[in-house]
Structure 1
């Protein structure tokens, strides 16, 4: 299997399932964060915590690509059982 195909598949297996979960977590966390800021009477809450889901997503993508780099190069003949 070509390495580019393997890298693309690993990236899609990591990025696609993770994106909706992080989007939902980001929206829910933002709602809780803004509700709490309104409850305690903070004027304008800082927006830095809103970048946490983006940072988590960015950290997970290289981890998915690391699997491709760690995979040994094998020939299809080596994968067949004899």
Structure 2
């Protein structure tokens, strides 16, 4: 099961950027300046699959593992880019 932890994710993203010489695009505390949701928290959304007609659930958010292994360039909740 994916681990979501704001403090650990902020730290992991900062370390990733430092180690890889990458720019730090993600908000320092994790709160998106467009939608005001924290990018490191899971948010579940229900949607209707138009092919099957079934109602499904999708979870957005950045896990600790993702924050420590890839550059965060946008909000997973509202899709706002932080690098344009």
TM-score class, shorter-chain normalisation, is under 0.3
TM-score of the pair, normalised by structure 1: 0.27
Structure with larger Rg: 1
TM-score of the pair, normalised by structure 2: 0.27
Q: Which fold has the larger relative contact order, with Cα–Cα distance below 8 Å and residues 6 or more apart in sequence?
A: 1
Q: 1 or 2, which has the higher helix percentage? A: 1
Q: 1 or 2, which has the higher strand percentage? A: 2
